[in-house]
Amino acid sequence: MFKTLKIYFDFCNDTNRKKLYKAMILGVVKAMFTALRIGAIAVILQGILDNDMSAKNIWLSFGIMCASVAGQVIVGLKTTMLQTEAGYNTCSGKRIEIAEHLRYLPMGFFNANSLGRITNITTNTMETLADVATLVVMITTQGIITTSVIFICVLIFDPRIALILLLGIAIFSFFNSMMQKATIPVAPRKSKADEGLVTAVIEYIQGIAEVKNFNLTDKSAKKLEAAISEKQGADTKLEYSVIPFMCLQGITTKLTGVVMILASVYFAINGTMPVLYAILMIISSFMVYESLDMMGGFSALMRNVNIVVSKANEVLEIPPMDTEGEEYSPESTDIELRNVSFAYEDRTIIDEISLKIPAGTTTAIVGPSGGGKTTLTNLMARFWDVGSGEVLLGGKNVKEYSFDSLMKNFSFVFQRVYLFEDTIANNIRFGDPDAPMEKVIEAAKKAGCHNFIMKLADGYETVIGEGGASLSGGEKQRISIARAIMKDAPIIILDEATANVDPENEAELTEAIEELTRDKTIIMIAHRLKTVRHADQIFVISNGKIAQQGTHSELIKQDGLYRDFVSERKEAVSWKLAS
């Protein structure tokens, strides 16, 4: 228990940790006010035993009881506020810290780890930290403090009863420790089940169109039901593992109280303890029972505190890329790769590639699917670090740039566009967060999306669904181009931006892309002939190597992948249904 509390305290930052320490100090004060009740009762009992129930004694007892209650309320309120602020501030701070940390992790992390795991940590795990962990720490620490103060009071009155109480606390702590250990084998299964359920729900919702289209409702539902069933089984197993020890804890607290009462009565009968003290010990036994019982009930959740902190730390401990370079603005946007190799796990994706892309030129990258085209552009923008070799921008290794200053040089238009659940204006402003509305509208007009935006109910203030679900593919793509226009980076990377767009939207998108790429360095991953034939240079990538390079007119004369690529595209264009 104490180890888990230390883990939680270490997890908090200095400001929140100080609040928790203040809360603990105030917890001692609150416990002392709680113990004042014993004094109030002692005054009344002493008056009864001495046959002296004067108004003075009654008012004195009443005053002490009022001070006890008022002190508990006032100090308890301040304590709760400090602990709650520390808990929720820690949660919000860690969410931001995790989000910032994710920014600087290599893209391989997101490929190797499911969306469910990341989502579970940033939502469920952090929510558990805010709600459950804070409450558990509050009640457990207060229980420990209150029990300790009552023990000191009992020790002052009668060391023999204090010894009984100490023994009861020791047995209680033993069973509590056993309970914590019992959850250790079950915890990984529960954690995996939590992530599995989130993954299954996200997959089911995101793929609902395909599920219905291919009549996979039963199969997909069974997968979701299996995840729910596994979550239920893991939660049940965890509960079953702690129930026996919770029962033993409860029995221990009750027996401790009973033994304290019997011992107090026995000592009073044989004359070794004043009757007043005996009654006070009996009252103390009930107060200890209340404190230990509440602490025992919530301490079963202490393992959750350990789990959520461990999960958050797992992400925060993943080594980020070294992004502490210089804030540097290159004089030239020439890009050069020198003997670059990159492997993902055990598979080589890029193998000893060297190339140069002069500033202001258009470069097309073509080749078979899975050949390494997208990976190559990701290495240029340092989404991954190269395994060997180096990538240079303006003659300077990209690793020597700070990550933010490097990103200022690149804009991306991906085949799959992601828009955030926010207004259209704010989605465009991602390219320049402080841009005035006039600049947003100007970028939208250049991207060819102003007209359809104005037809929406709230225009630029229309809130779109998560991922841009309320817009068509062409509309999303044009908004992403407007976003890139706003950023106005000197290098534009296009990952076949028009591949999945219908012919009606393609002409408008082509115009928008021409507006975006004017006077820029353009790197395009292309699958369509008309998008590459006018490129200044073309690289054909296959199996992680440069198979061919040159202009369209040069490559079309050579036997190889590029001429095959052109022939296949011409056949596809001329293909018609038989009449």
CATH code, domain with 261: 1.20.1560.10
**Does residue 157 lie in a domain region?**
yes
Nearest residue to 440 via CA among 457, 459, 421? 459
Nearest residue to 448 via CA among 516, 518, 531? 516
Helix ranges (DSSP H) in 50-130? 55-103, 107-112, 115-120, 126-128
Q: Do strands 396-397 and 545-550 pair parallel, antiparallel, or not at all (unpaired)?
A: unpaired
The radius of gyration computed from the CA coordinates of the chain, to the nearest angstrom, equals: 34
- What is the overall mean pLDDT for the chain? 80
561 neighbors 546 (Cβ within 8 angstroms): no
Say how far apart CA 342 and CA 325 lie, in whole Å: 21
pLDDT confidence of residue 340? 92
Say how far apart CA 382 and CA 179 lie, in whole Å: 47
pLDDT confidence of residue 579? 37
φ and ψ at residue 51, rounded to 5 degrees: 55, 45
User: What is the separation of C-alpha 485 from the centre of its chain, rounded to a whole number of angstroms?
Assistant: 31
pLDDT confidence of residue 182? 79
**Secondary structure letter of residue 560 according to DSSP:** S
pTM higher than 0.75: no
**Does residue 116 lie in a domain region?**
yes
3-state helix, strand, coil in the chain (%, to 5): 65, 10, 25
pLDDT confidence of residue 391? 92
pLDDT confidence of residue 527? 65
Query: 225 Cβ partners below 8 Å, 6+ apart?
Result: none
φ and ψ at residue 220, rounded to 5 degrees: -65, -40
φ and ψ at residue 389, rounded to 5 degrees: 85, -165
pLDDT confidence of residue 389? 92
**Does residue 499 lie in a domain region?**
no
φ and ψ at residue 493, rounded to 5 degrees: -110, 120
**Does residue 234 lie in a domain region?**
yes
**Does residue 276 lie in a domain region?**
yes
pLDDT confidence of residue 151? 87
**Secondary structure letter of residue 423 according to DSSP:** B
List, for the chain, all residue ranges whose pLDDT scores fall below the cut of 70: 1-2, 52-53, 107-116, 202, 206-220, 297-304, 466-470, 496-510, 527-531, 569-579
Say how far apart CA 349 and CA 170 lie, in whole Å: 60
Range(s) of the domain holding residue 132: 2-316
Return the structure tokens found at 345. 């796990």
Structurally, the chain folds into a number of domains equal to 1
The per-residue pLDDT for range 500-533, each reduced to its tens digit, is 555 555 666 667 777 777 778 888 887 666 667 7
